Structure 1
């Protein structure tokens, strides 16, 4: 295969030591935890904010979802371009400090407009941290270990849920929403300084075959053209979009559904929910990364086959918790669904980063954040809310149950795209790697 002329100029770079890799991954796990925590903390604060500012449900939806998701998604791609051209550690640290300070300032807002503007700033800051972090991970861990590393990074999701549903609900109930937001901002400022002082920026491409690092970042047009030319990557991005819609739609309405259908109070069951989601989330995320990296040593297609199976299981578990009547069974099934609905994340994200050239990875991460937020969190919660309204005349109190059932089915569509990605994933990996396959084709 003829290697693109833009990647011809390369140089050998040293690999990062195991201790430094694991330390950096630990810091990035904490960054991802805080990114998700500051994103979801508003879920438990909507009612007191609504009461204080006398807001409508539409205003709450705009505040917690649509505008925040659109801005975070729109900013993800530009930040990805920046991360491909600058020091990613510094960028991630600066963005972390920015969204942490703005989260604290949200606790000082005196009206809806101030709170909305500050919340928009939080979303823009978070859009820079994610792409930079994923790009760093891709340069710290080689392809055969990358899914496991991304899985560890993804543990930030159940960790954030645990903190939010235990510490967050306690602070909100005892001290109010303003104190909760200020408390949530402190760890981010500390972590930003720790990253700047103790973490090194890895060389681009250091973990790839031959230890080669490209010198120049690819232009956006070239990156998008390369993405379009990789069929496996296009199917993975389509599956990711559908999976994010399901995840965002279901998770955004889970607590409202439990309150309406099971008549529970969030501050009373927060610990139970948090522990269930935390345990299941760790098991699902870590298991998916380990399985993908292990089975792919035989055939790279196993990376997409196992997440296709996970998508099918998530549909079955989704119907289980939505239609379960007993609280104990519902609690168990909610945790298992949380694990199954994120089972795809580590293998798919790791694979997406391997399906583009080294110099395109941060931009690829920006594309993923755009899909996650503008598509997933921009459409998922609205779809469920709209469907619930449409079902109300026919199903009354069960309208939300029917709407959640509809969003869960979307994962069957995602499963199809995961399977289709397997048809060309080996050839596309070889092309992105300069013609050197990661495995021996069978």
Structure 2
């Protein structure tokens, strides 16, 4: 069916987005050597420089998406961040590199919230846990391509070529989305929460925060990604420094951790929440919470392991449980808000979680 084609295209956009976001993690040591950077500067490049603009600019762009053509916004955003990723190959200083990372954050701010809103209008409420889980597999696919291909290209052709290889495909994908993905009609309200009126920015924030379901999902997501983003950003560095293996091998190991652990977890969480929610809709939230609860101690244990293979195995299992949580949690959020503010609801959640999670 066409809606699954649209879902697949948006998942590919998400994959390219995450690849361009995470590609720098496999290149941190190269950039450190090239520009004589400190770990603090590396943390700024992989965290705060991206997060602050990705989080804050997502809010006004989401407001625009709730009023206009969301597919057009996604296409333009994808073209912008992909072009900037490719142009990162030309930087000659830390300042230019920092500006490029900020530019990627600005571009990526436009895609995620609008995609959540589009998917929620293509699928019924009871279908959203699985639909948003399938969409979120873009994270796993993007991480796999970013780390595996990024590691191979960086080791054989250098970090500059790696940015070009990561950036160029997204430009063509943006054009394809623009030409082939249709803007779906906006669904009628499925909840009595909030006003149908076109309210101001701060009134919209207040409306969301007064929504108890939305508020708790937001706080839970913030806490979860604070751990997950830190582990994701520094996992390649751990393998590079702790066991002194090459970039290509690290990219393959970490990419497979994401793929073999995260991808099945993402799909399993969506299927499980969809099945159990037929008995009780609260299972959508319970599956999300349980996945995070099981993942966090495994991540800590994996990072303290003295064996590379045991670390990879434990982190992969942790990734399985963590990714179980994502799609069901996003479905709870989308099902709880006014359809006229779906993109803004997702953007405000990203604002809270990314500013804290990516910033740290």
> Scaled by the length of structure 1, what TM-score is found?
0.77
**Aligned partner of 1:293 among 274, 299, 309:** 274
Does structure 1 residue 221 correspond to structure 2 residue 226?
A: no
Q: What secondary structure, in the 3-state scheme, does the structure 2 residue paired with 1:369 have?
A: helix
- Structure 1 residue 257 displacement after superposition: 2.6
Equivalent position of 1:302 in the other structure: 283
Q: Distance in 1 between matches of 2:113 and 2:340?
A: 13
Does structure 1 residue 159 correspond to structure 2 residue 161?
A: no
Does structure 1 residue 203 correspond to structure 2 residue 188?
A: no
- Structure 1 residue 353 displacement after superposition: 0.9
Equivalent position of 1:171 in the other structure: 153
Query: Which consecutive residues of structure 1, in runs of 5 or more, have no partner in the other structure?
Result: 1-18, 380-442
**Aligned partner of 1:113 among 95, 109, 112:** 95
**Aligned partner of 1:194 among 146, 158, 176:** 176
Change (3 A) 1:182 1:217: farther
Q: What secondary structure, in the 3-state scheme, does the structure 2 residue paired with 1:107 have?
A: helix
Change (3 A) 1:322 1:53: closer
Change (3 A) 1:271 1:221: same
Deviations 1:338-381 (A, max 9, x none): 222232211111111111111010111111221232111112xx
Q: Is the 8 A contact 2:81 2:108 kept in 1?
A: yes
Deviations 1:162-211 (A, max 9, x none): 112211101111111111101111111111110111111001117x769x
Q: Is the 8 A contact 1:218 1:359 kept in 2?
A: no
- Structure 1 residue 249 displacement after superposition: 1.7
Q: Distance in 1 between matches of 2:140 and 2:236?
A: 16
Q: Is the 8 A contact 1:72 1:123 kept in 2?
A: yes
Change (3 A) 1:83 1:322: same
Q: Distance in 2 between matches of 1:335 and 1:217?
A: 44
Does structure 1 residue 47 correspond to structure 2 residue 29?
A: yes
**Aligned partner of 1:232 among 208, 213, 217:** 213
- Structure 1 residue 28 displacement after superposition: 0.2
- Structure 1 residue 21 displacement after superposition: 0.4
Runs of 4+ in 1 over 4 A off after TM superposition: 214-218
**Aligned partner of 1:371 among 336, 352, 355:** 352
Q: Is the 8 A contact 2:85 2:164 kept in 1?
A: yes
Q: Distance in 1 between matches of 2:90 and 2:300?
A: 41
Q: Distance in 2 between matches of 1:137 and 1:41?
A: 26
Q: Is the 8 A contact 1:155 1:285 kept in 2?
A: yes
Q: Is the 8 A contact 2:146 2:166 kept in 1?
A: no
Does structure 1 residue 311 correspond to structure 2 residue 311?
A: no
Deviations 1:40-60 (A, max 9, x none): 001111222222222232222
Aligned residues: 357
Deviations 1:382-441 (A, max 9, x none): xxxxxxxxxxxxxxxxxxxxxxxxxxxxxxxxxxxxxxxxxxxxxxxxxxxxxxxxxxxx
Change (3 A) 1:177 1:119: same
Equivalent position of 2:229 in the other structure: 248
Q: What secondary structure, in the 3-state scheme, does the structure 1 residue paired with 2:281 have?
A: coil
> Scaled by the length of structure 2, what TM-score is found?
0.94
Q: Distance in 2 between matches of 1:70 and 1:22?
A: 33
Q: Distance in 2 between matches of 1:178 and 1:260?
A: 22
Equivalent position of 1:137 in the other structure: 119
Equivalent position of 2:17 in the other structure: 35
